[in-house]
Chain A
Amino acid sequence: MAEFIHLKIKRQNGPNESPRWEEFKVPYKPNMNVVSVLMEIRKNPVNAQGQKTTPVTWDCSCLEEVCGACTMIINGNVRQACSALIDKMPSQVITLEPLSKFPVIRDLKVDRSVLFEHLKKVKAWINIDGTFDLGPGPRVPEKERRWMYEISRCMTCGCCYEACPNFNARSSFIGPAPLAQVLRFNNHPTGAMDKEARLETIMGDGGITDCGNAQNCIEACPKKIPLTTAIAKLNRDTTLYSIGRWFNR
């Protein structure tokens, strides 16, 4: 392994500033990951040319790939920086770029608030009457629970959005992750009571028909959530629902 880790980072001072590349050489230690390399830089903010610079701004929190905060583009691929292990990367230059489909705040930090807005749109919750003690919820077969749990592990990191050719800063596409949530909530015994409202939403503008079936999302998802299967299943649900709606007119 080389003595130094050579990084090329796409930096940008603010939302309306133009981006620039800056290179860094960080002394190699075993077991590093992209976050720990960025942490080394802030202890000695000097670039590869030996010039003093500002520490790199980026988001991170849990460092165990559960929170989704440190999502960025590493060597051209969208992923979490904490689980991007240096020892497993080709030893040439490592490039870091902010997600391209969300507004840059500064350097590698982007504004992903739209992800949460979309969860709001599809009513990704169970409409309980209150938190008071009403006894247990409905029984759930373990088999059903397993696939719903897989979907409920979505950390809203934005990888699937970044990979999706049908989503960009100007598109109204609701994105793969919230669609999977619709399936999960529509199949929960209580969640199913708001099934129609969720289906109506995803049958509207920016809904499920905006999915071009590129299947990039499933490749990009760090949690291997069966996004494409979920979308396929929802396609059927929306079709059945619209036929039913037509009959009940």
Chain B
Amino acid sequence: MSKNKIIVVGGGLAGLMAVIKAAEAGVEVEAFSLVPFKRSHSLCAQGGINAALNTKGENDSIQQHFEDTIVGGDFLANQTPVKGLVEAAPGLIYAFDRMGVMFNRTPEGLIDLRLFGGVKNRRTAFAGATTGQQLLYALDEQVRKWIAKGKVKEYIGWEFLSAVVDDEGICRGIVAQDLNSMEIRAFRADAVILATGGAGMIYGKSTNSVICTGSAAGAVYRQGVPFANGEFVQFHPTAMPGDDKLRLMSEASRGEGGRIWTYKDGKPWYFLEEWYPAYGNLVPRDIASRAIYKVCVEMGLGIDGKNQVYLDLTHKDPEFLEVRLGGILEIYRNFYGEDPVKVPMKIFPAPHYFMGGIYVDWNHMTPIPGLFAAGECDYMYHGANRLGANSLLSAAYSGYICGPNAVKYIKGLQKSAEDISQKVFDRELNRQAGIFEAIYRMDGTENPYTIHEELGETMITHVGVVRYDKNLKLADEKIQELMERYKRINVNDTGRWANDVVPFVNQLWNMLELARVITLGALNRNESRGSHYKPEYPDRNDEEWLKTTKAYWTESGPRFEYEDVDISLLKPRARKYD
């Protein structure tokens, strides 16, 4: 019987870490990815990865990292899993160090640390301003070693379409599509780990890569897995405004001394420093984003009358900036044509990170046995707002524990995927093939990319930094209108080879489904907590809303349930940074 096979979907930090951990446990692994692992979105993470290494003489501690994370997340994160995260952090950094990650060094050759948002101690290890890239490459190299050994098989350019669930409700594999041959195939596995990242594309333009559609999460949501805390979407305060993408300018720029300002009464006004003297420019992202939004949109004080303020590094030493922030300086120079060493950067908040995601238990298993989720696509560690440099940590950590948890799960299985009737796989395969045949036949008048653009505009306008009930209702109506128009799409390309449009049309429906989860979750939640801010309900309301949102798919739209949050380790208190 048991061949003990695990499928990992997603080649970012979480997925690759899960691959490595499963391979180390001696299990056969098949790794699916839309793009070569090296091109996964983890590489866009810039500033660093947090661990309380306490090597700066600041009495930093695991406990302080824990408290900063919980308070930063406005108490919505389950505390026991977060404890596990921060405890494992130093060991994880050391594992990366041993893999040869080029972390910046102290004069003694030790891993250097810098300051990040929402904290008082230096806790962020970094490799220039391309830390995500460097960590991803290290795991990519390690996975390549496993592939060379024949222990891991890669499927590059394949998209996950759905989980194969048997009659007992157990996940036994996946259905996936080869994006060149367009072949749709079912794969058997004893456990499946989704590590499919965030869903920034729901907002059209964001700091995310274009592959971050959230489609895989949307697909399993439609198969009955709840989507948790969808309404909590992080807007990163400092991104370059752009027409095709909002390019991230790392929080590390403020960690290294960057200041945010605009003109007021003809003079530079450092509004974050004035409003939040205790943390200044390093308030958590939700707070900084709201402040910039207020200054630009409500007070009309954006630079040149536009929605933008300055992020200023010009007072810093140029060589210092190159060594510690080179990667983002390069992006700003390449895409804006100005040198941040000499001229302040123009920035504005942009959709960046989904704190919410696939609902999992503390072992990272979804309510469908055998189906796991790790990384940004899960909802576990960041509550209502994620602290900077905690995402590389949670991605790596969740993969690190999810891999072994999946191995443990399959050891306890009565039946292997190999023992399951072929009918179970054919059924799901045929269902997906049917969906795709229907897409090929779409010959209406609507363009899928235009529908996507309108979805993004709707989300960014109405489900953004500041949320009003009236606008949230408008947004939901608009999404439903787009869902109607979706039915009249014209695919413009019926080719059966490397057709980009047909998979996009499939992704688009999953994006529309999740857009409703986000919007209605926000409409329901009558309080303000972390990234979710409603001026009509400006305060956090623990009595009614210290709860995890769980959205279940139904034919007529999401149905919501709410679940208590684990607050066993730190009693909720007011969240203050001023």
Contacts and interface: CB of A to CB of B under 8 A. Distances in A.
A126 B98 contact: yes
Interface string A166-200: 00000000000000000001001011000000000
A102 to B, nearest CB: 13
B95 A131 contact: yes
B331 A44 contact: no
Interface in B284-304: none
A3 interface: no
Interface stretch (B70-78, B164-172, B225-233, B492-500): B492-500
Contacts of B411: none
Given A67-B44, A131-B400, 8 more contacts: A43-B453, A52-B492, A66-B133, A82-B244, A106-B498, A133-B92, A134-B98, A142-B109
Contacts of A191: 100
Interface of B: 17, 20-21, 24, 35-36, 38-39, 41, 43-44, 90-92, 94-95, 97-100, 102-111, 127-128, 130, 133-134, 137, 141-142, 144-145, 147-148, 156, 180, 209-211, 242-245, 247-248, 323, 327, 331, 334-335, 337, 400, 447, 449-450, 453, 492-493, 495, 497-501
A134 B94 contact: yes
Interface residues of A, number: 72
A68 B109 contact: no
B98 A36 contact: no
Contacts of A8: none
Given A39-B449, A124-B141, A109 B210 contact: no
The main secondary structure of chain A at its interface with chain B is loop
A146 B492 CA distance: 49
Contact of A69 (B35, B99, B337): B35
B144 A120 contact: yes
A149 B102 contact: yes
Interface of A: 13-14, 29-33, 35-36, 39, 42-45, 52, 54-55, 57, 59-69, 82-83, 85, 88, 105-107, 109, 112-113, 116, 119-120, 123-128, 130-137, 139-142, 145-146, 148-149, 152-153, 155-156, 185, 188, 190-191
B69 to A, nearest CB: 20
A55 B100 contact: no
B334 A65 contact: yes
19 contacts: A32-B243, A33-B244, A35-B244, A43-B453, A54-B501, A57-B500, A62-B41, A65-B331, A66-B327, A69-B35, A130-B24, A133-B90, A133-B94, A139-B108, A140-B109, A149-B134, A152-B102, A155-B133, A185-B100
A36 B109 contact: no
Nearest to A30: B243
A64 B98 contact: no
Contact of B107 (A57, A61, A142): A142
B501 A42 contact: yes
